[in-house]
């Protein structure tokens, strides 16, 4: 035979089996849900207020906010063995999203090119006898026709490089998420 329960253990068992205890737990969970729901509304309000359904940038902002909250949870309150590793995976995704939100790929790719060749300017000229305008580009320094050809080819290469950097960040972001997202829970 097993050990007999003490009077205190019997009272606890009766309490936990009672309808009153069930009502208490429902009220306790409801209060918890309301309190955390209000905190969520306050925390998410600025992001949702600025959200528009126009393009990917707004989706990136929402994803960044969600990952920011998930990383904090894992680092601060994570219970599983690899919670810091999980937080680090989330942080990498968050950093990639921040880069995608900033979208400085073109500027980063052309920075040194513009130091050498000058900043690209758009010049509009009215076409005589019409209501039309022509748009031409010029750099900050005078160039010969041969130098213009070289500069334009190099600039185009820099533009392609900027696009490639963005694609690499997108690929890495979704590769990490595809591989790990289902393990990001606590």
Q: Answer whether residue 181 shows pLDDT above 90.
A: yes
- 132's CB contacts (< 8 A; 6+ apart) are 126
Q: d(Cα 66, Cα 59) in Å, to the nearest integer?
A: 11
Over range 115-124, report the average pLDDT.
84
Comparison of pLDDT for 144 and 96, the residue scoring more: 96
Q: Answer whether residue 4 shows pLDDT above 90.
A: no
Stated length of the chain: 186
Q: What pLDDT is attached to residue 75?
A: 94
Percent of the chain with pLDDT over 70: 95
Over range 77-102, report the average pLDDT.
95
Element (H, E) at 136: strand 133-138
Q: Is 135 exposed, middle or buried (0-12, 13-18, 19+ CB in 10 A)?
A: exposed
The residues spanned by each domain of the chain are 8-50, 51-183
Mean pLDDT of the chain: 89
Q: Are 85 and 71 in contact (CB under 8 A)?
A: no
User: Structure pTM?
Assistant: 0.77
Q: Are 83 and 74 in contact (CB under 8 A)?
A: yes
Q: Answer whether residue 36 shows pLDDT above 60.
A: yes
Q: What pLDDT is attached to residue 17?
A: 73
Q: State the maximum Cα–Cα separation within the chain, in Å, rounded to a whole number.
A: 109
Q: Answer whether residue 119 shows pLDDT above 60.
A: yes
pLDDT digit string (tens) for 140-163?
A: 788 888 988 898 899 999 999 999
Alpha helices in the chain (DSSP H): 7-17, 19-50, 56-77, 83-102, 105-117, 145-180
Q: Answer whether residue 53 shows pLDDT above 70.
A: yes
Q: Is 93 exposed, middle or buried (0-12, 13-18, 19+ CB in 10 A)?
A: buried
């Amino acid at each position: 035979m097993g050990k007999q329960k003490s009077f205190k253990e019997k009272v606890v068992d009766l309490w936990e089996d009672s309808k009153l205890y069930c009502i208490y737990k429902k009220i306790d969970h409801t209060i918890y849900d309301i309190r955390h729901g209000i905190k969520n509304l306050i925390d998410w309000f600025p992001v949702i207020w600025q959200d528009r359904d126009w393009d990917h940038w707004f989706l990136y902002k929402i994803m960044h906010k969600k990952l920011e909250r998930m990383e904090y949870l894992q680092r601060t309150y994570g219970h599983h063995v690899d919670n810091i590793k999980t937080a680090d995976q989330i942080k990498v995704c968050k950093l990639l999203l921040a880069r995608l939100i900033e979208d400085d790929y073109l500027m980063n790719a052309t920075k040194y090119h513009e130091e050498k060749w000058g900043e690209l300017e758009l010049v509009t000229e009215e076409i005589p006898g019409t209501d039309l305008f022509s748009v031409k580009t010029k750099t900050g320094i005078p160039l010969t026709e041969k130098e213009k050809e070289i500069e334009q080819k190099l600039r185009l290469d820099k533009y392609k490089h900027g696009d490639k950097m963005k694609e690499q960040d997108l690929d890495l972001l979704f590769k990490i998420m595809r591989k790990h997202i289902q393990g990001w829970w606590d």
